[in-house]
């Protein structure tokens, strides 16, 4: 069997992939923190499968290269009936299952974070980076997202680290105390002493530690360290590593001087976040607090599993299986037995490409996540359409095997003449 590509199908499938990507981004941004992740990812890939299947079907209706004119005349209505169950429903089930398995912790349980130390840069450069002190509002948003069973401490740092509030259970009075104290530092000055800030945070955690409670640190700055933290980096981070305390860092500006923030996050098992627009900082701390152990198939893998080879393998495997479900579903919609093998092969290749895009991309430059999801969706949508094969040969010239009993019976009654060579051969 030779390749028989419908280039209109390739193009329209890409359009369907892009449309599904846009809808999927809206879905993730709207329901990431309110909908169960398994259902969210199931819906995400279900929508992708539906849009791709619809575009492939429309392409073959408009220009029936693979299935032929007889299919368009006699059988296209049944293909539309197959569309939703073979694409949307099946892929929702598959995506939900694979996301559920991906979130299972096979090696160790996730820690529940009870205590947070926030380190806020108030050095002179912040007067340009954050002239309206939006980062203070970010602290308030974080405190508002915590319940009375959580504790928080806040430090500001420039040339020296200064305590704003010791570790305290979060309540209305504590929130007001922190916000009032931060206002004293609304005029930034000095240089950036990250090492002293980290030492102060660890000292606060040590002296206020209680059994059964797990701490984390959030550090925000707009650039690098000015006090030679690099020279004593291992010594500074050693207590964090020994105690299993993650430091999540936030780089705030359009610059690229965030080497040290990234290094701190990586060394402690935390994550680095980039905020280019100061207006986006308000919800960043809340995002960190919520995302600290999150694992989505199409998003950054956070926390202790961030660099796990095992979960990297699982991501590629599950994305590949989802791509196979999508491509197989489309072959069922088109009701063509001879598409199945090619689409299966194409689905495997598409899934591996998409999985590697997501895994390598999020591991190396996680802040471009939207781009990685778009490329992965396009790979799933397009690659398998390049593996369509023409199924006609002499051995099958007297049979058309169909998904549908109705079609099979019609073929037996009407026979298969030479004109049917331009038609497609379908499932039984």
- Residue 190: which H helix or E strand, with range? none
Higher pLDDT: 349 or 32? It is: 349
Q: What is the pLDDT of residue 223?
A: 77
Structural domain contains residue 232: yes
Assign 410 a pLDDT band (cuts: 50, 70, 90). very low
**Predicted confidence (pLDDT) at residue 184 exceeds the cutoff of 50:** yes
What average pLDDT does range 224-228 have in this prediction? 88
Domain shared by 93 and 126, yes or no: no
Residue after which a domain boundary falls, among 228, 262, 292: 292
Mean pLDDT of the chain: 85
Structural domain contains residue 409: no
Q: What is the pLDDT of residue 300?
A: 85
Instruction: Give percent above pLDDT 90 in the chain.
Output: 55
If DSSP codes are grouped into helix, strand and coil, which group holds residue 367? helix
Least confident of 140-144, 152-156, 335-339, 372-376: 335-339
**Predicted confidence (pLDDT) at residue 275 exceeds the cutoff of 90:** no
Domain shared by 276 and 133, yes or no: yes
Domain shared by 13 and 79, yes or no: yes
Q: What is the pLDDT of residue 293?
A: 61
Tell me how far apart the alpha carbons of residues 121 and 157 are, in angstroms, rounded to a whole number: 5
Domain shared by 22 and 80, yes or no: yes
Q: What is the pLDDT of residue 324?
A: 97
Q: What is the pLDDT of residue 292?
A: 63
Contact 338, 389 (CB under 8 A): yes
pLDDT in tens, 6-19: 999 999 999 999 99
DSSP strand E in 253-343: where?
A: 272-275
Domain shared by 176 and 279, yes or no: yes
Structural domain contains residue 408: no
Domain shared by 369 and 346, yes or no: yes
Structural domain contains residue 353: yes
Domain shared by 173 and 252, yes or no: yes
Contact 155, 164 (CB under 8 A): yes
Assign 428 a pLDDT band (cuts: 50, 70, 90). very low
Domain shared by 141 and 262, yes or no: yes
Domain shared by 193 and 315, yes or no: no
Domain shared by 64 and 137, yes or no: no
DSSP codes of every residue in 75-126: THHHHHHHHHIIIIIHHHHHHHHHHHHHHS-SS-PPPPP-EEEEEEE-STTH
Q: What is the pLDDT of residue 365?
A: 81
Assign 351 a pLDDT band (cuts: 50, 70, 90). very high
Contact 292, 216 (CB under 8 A): yes
Structural domain contains residue 417: no
If DSSP codes are grouped into helix, strand and coil, which group holds residue 395? helix
Structural domain contains residue 388: yes
Residue after which a domain boundary falls, among 292, 325, 342: 292
Assign 400 a pLDDT band (cuts: 50, 70, 90). very low
Higher pLDDT: 408 or 256? It is: 256
Q: What is the pLDDT of residue 244?
A: 87
pLDDT in tens, 120-173: 999 998 988 888 888 998 899 888 888 888 899 999 999 999 999 999 999 999
Higher pLDDT: 225 or 110? It is: 225
Tell me how far apart the alpha carbons of residues 13 and 9 are, in angstroms, rounded to a whole number: 6
Assign 399 a pLDDT band (cuts: 50, 70, 90). very low
Query: Where in the sequence is the domain holding 322, given as residue range(s)?
Result: 7-106+307-393
Higher pLDDT: 142 or 344? It is: 344
Domain shared by 250 and 322, yes or no: no
Residue of 121, 105, 135, 147 whose CA lies nearest to 289: 147
Higher pLDDT: 27 or 252? It is: 27
What CATH number does residue 174 fall under? 3.40.50.410
Structural domain contains residue 207: yes
Report DSSP state, residue 170: -
Residue after which a domain boundary falls, among 292, 326, 346: 292
Assign 55 a pLDDT band (cuts: 50, 70, 90). very high
Tell me how far apart the alpha carbons of residues 374 and 183 are, in angstroms, rounded to a whole number: 42
Structural domain contains residue 399: no
Q: In what order do the strands lie in the sheet with 161-169?
A: 161-169, 151-157, 115-121, 215-221, 247-252, 272-275
Domain shared by 316 and 282, yes or no: no
- Total domains present in the chain: 2
pLDDT in tens, 230-267: 999 999 999 999 998 999 998 887 666 788 998 999 89
* Phi/psi at 32 (5° precision): -60, -35
Q: Read off the pTM.
A: 0.65
Q: What is the pLDDT of residue 377?
A: 97
Buried b (16+ CB within 10 A) or exposed e, 187-220: ebeeebbbbbbbbbbbebbeebeeeebebbbbbb
């Amino acid at each position: 069997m030779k390749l028989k590509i419908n280039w209109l199908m390739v193009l329209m499938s890409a359009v369907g992939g892009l449309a599904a990507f846009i809808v999927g981004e809206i879905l993730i941004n709207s329901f990431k923190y309110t909908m169960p992740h398994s259902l969210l990812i199931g819906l995400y890939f279900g929508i992708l499968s539906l849009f791709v299947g619809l575009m492939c079907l429309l392409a073959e209706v408009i220009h029936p290269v693979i299935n032929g004119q007889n299919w368009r005349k006699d059988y296209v209505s049944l293909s539309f009936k197959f569309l939703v169950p073979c694409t949307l429903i099946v892929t929702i089930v598959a995506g939900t299952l694979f996301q559920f398995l991906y979130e299972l912790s096979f090696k160790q349980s996730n820690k529940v974070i009870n205590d947070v130390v926030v380190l806020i840069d108030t050095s002179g450069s912040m007067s340009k980076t954050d002239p309206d002190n939006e980062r203070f509002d970010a602290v308030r948003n974080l405190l508002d997202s915590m319940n009375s069973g959580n504790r928080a401490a806040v430090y500001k740092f420039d040339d020296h680290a200064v305590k704003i509030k010791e570790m305290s259970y979060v309540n209305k009075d504590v929130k007001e105390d922190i916000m009032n104290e931060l206002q004293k530092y609304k005029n930034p000055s000095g240089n950036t002493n990250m090492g002293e800030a980290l030492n102060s945070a660890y000292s606060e955690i040590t002296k206020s530690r209680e059994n059964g409670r797990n701490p984390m640190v959030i550090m925000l700055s707009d650039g690098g360290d000015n006090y030679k933290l690099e020279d004593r980096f291992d010594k500074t981070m050693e207590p964090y590593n020994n105690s299993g305390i993650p430091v999540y860092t936030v780089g705030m500006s359009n610059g690229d001087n965030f080497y040290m923030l990234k290094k701190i996050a990586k060394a402690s098992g935390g994550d680095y976040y980039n905020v280019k627009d100061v207006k986006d900082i308000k919800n960043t701390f809340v995002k960190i607090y919520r995302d600290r152990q999150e694992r989505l198939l199409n998003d950054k893998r956070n926390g202790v599993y961030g660099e796990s080879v095992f979960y990297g393998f699982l991501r590629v495997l599950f994305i590949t299986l989802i791509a196979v479900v999508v491509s197989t579903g489309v072959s069922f919609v088109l009701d063509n037995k001879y598409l199945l093998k090619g689409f299966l092969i194409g689905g495997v290749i598409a899934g591996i490409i998409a999985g590697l895009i997501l895994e390598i991309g999020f591991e190396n430059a996680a802040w471009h996540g939207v781009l990685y999801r778009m490329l992965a969706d396009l790979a799933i949508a397009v690659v398998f359409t390049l593996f369509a094969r023409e199924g006609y040969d002499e051995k099958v010239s007297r049979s058309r095997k169909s998904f549908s009993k109705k079609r099979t019976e019609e073929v037996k009654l009407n026979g298969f003449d030479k004109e049917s060579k331009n038609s497609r051969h379908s499932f039984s």
